[in-house]
């Protein structure tokens, strides 16, 4: 079925190992996933197991589909019969049959994230707990954390937060779900564990469905998944797991790398296989990977050899800022393309999704097809669309859809009927959305439009100061109209990242304006970037987070933002050693995605959360020698030091026509792009464009 050119001796041994637990512990690119596929093929074609009695578990639906397609390629239609899915999907399948034992109807539904949040909010409201005291998002994360650990409401540890008993709320939450005949995502796994643990008859029925169970990326299993596998396979013991402890990157979601390291103890007499040949990357890429990961303690030492030759030493370039970074990276992508590499064989990886924007903008500008994987493209995100709608109204270039989009966000008591009425009034008025809103500001709004009067007045007041702010008034408007507060009060776990995105948008506006772009041009550009995601994706550069890149490979890989604060991420730096080790593994995962060419980049300055930061290169790479990472002599020069006007110096007291008196804190840039940060007594700290700010020295 396979020739020696397809599998090496160690892989063949793992593929042909008999009926007992098997652990394949091996480094990146050593053919672990390939071995799983061939082992399944072997079980079916050589050992006669029925395809539907083989179960493979993966971490994403995409990985499950990929595994099946590789299998069909290997053994034909039989491959299609193998049961393949995520832990959640397989759990749902079991529960559809046996949920009755847990007093759920078999037709129970899985609650989606929105409904889950709404439910938790209702629960807190009924107890008069406001979100200041306990954020709904916090409660949801805590419950999820318990569930990842395998702890139901009755087993969770006592936890008091601001004098509120979280465990009691966990119980109430589960009661409410039960009443609604719903389960949440994490319940699926927990309930299967409960079924198998508490109902021996059901457990043997479930166990008897499969003869072999195989798990890819085992290093990222959490305790409840671990119990799930233990209960499922304890009779036949035919469990094959593959993984790499150096690629464990989900500790923050409760995954515990010890499961892979403890495998031999939990499953006595397990077959252990080590694959030491790397088929993916050139030697020099592996050298860098090894140099990075070596600094982590408690590893299973793995020696990786490659059959592919040395290749080029990976490059590292230090750029001026994130836009310089994006332009230089795109330059490299174009060179690779000229060397015959397809766009689909290139990836730009980053730590944080908010980094995608400059790449999207430059790729779009240069007409290079791209796709943002596993995330919504920047301009399609809810909060970005909302923010742009507000901003367009402020600058009189909004259309009616944008007005309708935000008329009840935050809530202003305008329901669906009210929105319909507003939409009709707008259409009948023959005015632009902003023009119509001006009339409302003057008290001429009727019916539901009356409810927009405070907003309309606010917008018309803020027009006078908007042009002097570096973000042309966006931040101020979103604050004062209550949007920011409402966003935070929604209690979503993503609230923080949504705020980060809005700040990134403010930065982007600032950069674009510095380059002389007008508001209307900016809106056009945003609309184009939005449509960019509908491009043909067969031949496109991939943009994705390092987490998303797990298990994938590309000819050309670029890792952007390799700086302290991003990689390692600030959160992990604050957390201490464990977090730092996980971040190092994340860089290792990124590096080992590359087959032929690898480039790391960092920037000298970067806009982050409305501020300019001056990061230092990541501690993971800063001390590496030129033999493993070749630092390119910088081609682009650092920007000219700004020649500040002598009157405008930090510490000076100034007066702004609308914000009043304040003190200059700092300045950046020069000429038309010069910006000044002022702390005003009343209006708080603002970053203003010097050109428009009309500051008067006092």
| Segment near Mg ion (CB under 5 A); pick from 10-18, 27-35, 200-208, 456-464 | 27-35
Residue 79 touches Mg ion, criterion: CB under 5 A: no
- Nearest Cα to Cα of residue 664 among 679, 675, 647, 674: 679
CB 70 within 8 A of CB 31: no
Helices and strands, counts by H and E, the chain: 27, 26
Report helix, strand or coil for 477: helix
| Candidates 11, 22, 32, 606; catalytic one | 32
Looking at 11, 22, 33, 511, which residue is catalytic?
A: 33
Catalytic residue among 66, 184, 187, 216: 216
Least distance (Å) between residue 558 CB and ligand ATP: 17
- Nearest Cα to Cα of residue 629 among 316, 292, 350: 316
Q: Does 150 bind ligand ATP (CB under 6 A)?
A: no
Q: Does 41 bind ligand ATP (CB under 6 A)?
A: no
Q: Is 311 in the site for ligand ATP (CB under 6 A)?
A: no
What's the closest the beta carbon of residue 621 comes to ligand ATP, in angstroms? Answer: 20
Helix (H, G, I), strand (E, B) or coil at 212: strand
Tell me which stretch binds ligand ATP (CB under 6 A): 6-14, 298-306, 442-450, 674-682: 6-14
Rounded CA-CA distance 401/689 in Å is 30
537 phi and psi angles, rounded to 5 deg: -100, 0
Cis peptide before 528 (omega within 30 of 0): no
Report in angstroms how near the CB of residue 276 gets to ligand ATP at its nearest.
11
What is the smallest separation between the CB atom of 236 and ligand ATP, expressed in angstroms? Answer: 25
Choice among 66, 184, 187, 217 that is catalytic: 217
Q: Which is nearer to ligand ATP, 553 or 564 (CB)?
A: 553
- Name the residue among 67, 602, 526, 585 with its Cα closest to residue 320: 602
Name the binder of 182 from ligand ATP, Mg ion, none, CB < 5-8 A by kind: none
Q: At what angle do helices 87-98 and 223-233 cross, to 10 degrees?
A: 60
CA distance linking residue 525 with residue 381, whole number of Å: 15
Whether 32 is catalytic: yes
Out of 15, 22, 33, 136, the residue judged to bind ligand ATP by CB under 6 A:
33
CB of 480 to ligand ATP, least distance (A): 49
End-to-end Cα, the chain, rounded Å: 85
Binding mask 540-569 for ligand ATP (x = CB under 6 A): -----------x-x----------------
Q: CA nearest 474: which of 447, 438, 445, 501?
A: 501
Residue choice 33, 86, 353, 556 for contact with Mg ion (CB under 5 A): 33
27, 29, 314, 551: which one binds Mg ion (CB under 5 A): 551
Member of 34, 117, 604, 656 binding ligand ATP (CB under 6 A): 34
Sheet holding 660-668, edge to edge: 684-689, 675-680, 660-668, 653-656, 696-697
Is-catalytic flag, 133? no
Residues 6+ apart with CB under 8 A from 581: 296, 297
C-alpha to C-alpha distances, 122 to 137, 186, 414, nearest whole angstrom: 13, 20, 21
The interface with Mg ion within residues 144-203 (CB under 5 A) comprises none
Cβ at position 279, least distance to ligand ATP in Å: 3
What φ, ψ does residue 433 adopt, rounded to 5°?
-55, -45
Check if the beta carbon of residue 601 is closer than 8 Å to that of residue 594. no
Q: Does 79 bind ligand ATP (CB under 6 A)?
A: no
**Pair 663, 618: CB distance under 8 Å:** no
C-alpha distances (whole Å) from 477 to each of 469, 514, 555 are 11, 21, 45
CB 315 within 8 A of CB 598: yes
d(CA 33, CA 339): 29
CB of 216 to ligand ATP, least distance (A): 7
Nearer to Mg ion, 35 or 511 (CB): 35
Binding test (CB under 6 A) with ligand ATP, winner from 14, 17, 21, 29: 29
Measure the CA dihedral 550/555/561/564, to 10°.
60
Residue 397 or 591: the one with the smaller Cβ distance to ligand ATP is: 591
Under the criterion CB under 5 A, does residue 278 sit at the interface with Mg ion? no
Size of the site for Mg ion (CB under 5 A): 3
Whether 417 sits among the annotated catalytic residues: the reply is no
Query: Which among 31-39, 184-192, 507-515, 617-625 is the span making contact with Mg ion, rule CB under 5 A?
Result: 31-39
The residue at minimum Cβ distance from ligand ATP is 31
Catalytic residue flag (residue 308): no
The DSSP string of 505-532 is HHHHHHHHHHTT--HHHHHHHHHHHHHG
593 is catalytic: yes
Interface with ligand ATP, residue 30, by CB under 6 A = yes
Nearer to ligand ATP, 28 or 487 (CB): 28
Which one of 302, 327, 498, 593 is the catalytic residue?
A: 593
Binds 568: which of ligand ATP, Mg ion, none (CB < 5-8 Å by kind) = none
225-284 residues near ligand ATP, rule: CB under 6 A: 244, 247, 279-280
Comparing C-alpha atoms, which of 592, 630, 549 is closest to residue 348? Answer: 549
Which residue's Cβ has the minimum distance to Mg ion? 33
Binding mask 581-620 for ligand ATP (x = CB under 6 A): -----------x----------------------------
Cα separation, 620 vs 567, in Å, equals 8
Q: CB of residue 227 vs ligand ATP: minimum separation in angstroms?
A: 24
377 contacts 360 by C-beta, under 8 angstroms: yes
Question: Whose Cβ is closer to Mg ion: residue 14's or residue 166's?
Answer: 14
Among ligand ATP, Mg ion, none, partner that 116 touches (CB below 5 to 8 angstroms by kind): none
Q: Is 337 a catalytic residue?
A: no
Residues near Mg ion (CB under 5 A): 32-33, 551
Residues near ligand ATP (CB under 6 A): 6-8, 11, 28-34, 244, 247, 279-280, 551, 553, 592
Where in the sequence numbering do the catalytic residues fall? 32-33, 216-217, 247, 593
């Amino acid at each position: 079925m396979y020739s020696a050119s397809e599998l090496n001796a160690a892989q063949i041994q793992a593929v042909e190992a008999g009926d007992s637990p098997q652990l394949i512990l091996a480094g990146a690119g050593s053919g672990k996933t390939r071995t799983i596929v061939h082992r399944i093929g072997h079980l079916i074609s050589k050992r006669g197991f029925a395809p539907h009695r083989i179960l493979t578990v993966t971490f994403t639906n995409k990985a499950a589909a990929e595994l099946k397609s590789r299998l069909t390629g290997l053994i034909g239609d039989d491959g299609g019969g193998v049961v393949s899915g995520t832990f959640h999907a397989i759990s749902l399948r079991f529960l559809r049959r046996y949920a009755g034992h847990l007093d759920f109807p078999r037709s129970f539904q899985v609650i989606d994230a929105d409904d889950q949040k709404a439910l938790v909010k209702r629960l807190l409201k009924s107890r008069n707990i406001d979100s200041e005291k306990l954020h709904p998002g916090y409660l949801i994360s805590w419950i999820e954390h318990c569930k990842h650990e395998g702890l139901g409401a009755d087993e969770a540890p006592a936890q008091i937060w601001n004098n509120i008993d979280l465990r009691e709320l966990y119980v109430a939450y589960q009661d409410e779900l039960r009443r609604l005949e719903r389960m949440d995502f994490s319940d699926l796994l927990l309930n299967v564990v409960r079924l198998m643990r508490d109902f021996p008859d059901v457990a043997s029925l479930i166990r008897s469905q499969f003869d072999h169970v195989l798990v890819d990326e085992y290093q990222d299993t959490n305790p409840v998944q671990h119990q799930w596998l233990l209960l499922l396979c304890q009779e036949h013991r035919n469990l094959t797991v593959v993984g790499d402890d150096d690629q464990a990157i989900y500790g923050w979601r409760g995954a515990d790398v010890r499961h892979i390291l403890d495998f031999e103890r939990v499953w006595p007499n397990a077959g252990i296989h080590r694959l030491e040949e790397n088929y993916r990357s050139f030697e020099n890429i592996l050298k860098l990977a090894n140099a990075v990961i070596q600094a982590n303690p408690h590893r299973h030492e793995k020696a990786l050899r490659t059959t592919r030759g040395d290749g080029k030493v990976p490059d590292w370039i230090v750029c001026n800022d994130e836009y310089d970074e994006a332009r230089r990276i795109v330059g490299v992508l174009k060179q690779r393309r000229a060397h015959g590499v397809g766009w689909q064989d290139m990836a730009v990886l980053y730590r944080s999704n908010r980094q995608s924007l400059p790449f999207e903008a430059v790729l779009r500008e240069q007409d290079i097809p791209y796709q943002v994987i596993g995330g919504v493209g920047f301009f399609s995100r809810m909060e970005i669309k909302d923010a742009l709608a507000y901003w367009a109204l402020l600058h009189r270039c909004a259309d009616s859809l944008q007005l309708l989009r935000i008329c009840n966000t935050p809530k202003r008591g305008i329901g669906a009927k009210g929105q319909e009425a507003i939409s009709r009034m707008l259409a009948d008025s023959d005015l632009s959305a902003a023009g119509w809103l001006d009339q409302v500001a003057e008290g001429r709004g009727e019916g539901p439009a009356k409810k927009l009067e405070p907003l309309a007045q606010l917008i018309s007041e803020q027009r006078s100061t908007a042009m002097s702010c570096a973000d042309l008034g966006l931040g101020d408007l979103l604050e004062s109209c209550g949007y920011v507060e409402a966003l935070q009060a929604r209690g979503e776990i993503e609230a923080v990242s949504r705020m980060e995105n809005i700040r990134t948008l403010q930065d982007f506006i600032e950069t674009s304006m510095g380059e002389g772009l007008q508001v209307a041009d900016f809106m056009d550009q945003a609309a184009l970037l939005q449509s960019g995601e509908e491009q043909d994706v067969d031949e496109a550069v991939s943009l994705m987070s390092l987490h998303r890149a797990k298990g994938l490979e590309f000819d050309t890989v670029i890792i952007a933002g390799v700086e302290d604060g991003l990689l390692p991420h600030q959160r992990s730096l604050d957390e201490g050693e464990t977090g730092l080790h996980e971040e190092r593994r994340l860089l290792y995962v990124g590096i080992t995605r590359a087959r032929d060419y690898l480039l790391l980049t960092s920037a000298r300055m970067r806009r982050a959360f409305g501020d300019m930061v001056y990061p230092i290169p990541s501690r993971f790479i800063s001390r590496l020698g030129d033999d493993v990472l070749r630092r390119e002599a910088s081609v682009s020069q650092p920007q000219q030091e700004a020649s500040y006007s002598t009157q405008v110096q930090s510490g000076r007291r100034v007066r702004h026509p609308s914000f009043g008196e304040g003190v200059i804190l700092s300045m950046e840039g020069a000429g038309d792009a010069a910006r000044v940060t002022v702390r005003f007594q009343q209006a708080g700290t603002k970053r203003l464009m010097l050109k428009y700010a009309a500051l008067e020295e006092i």
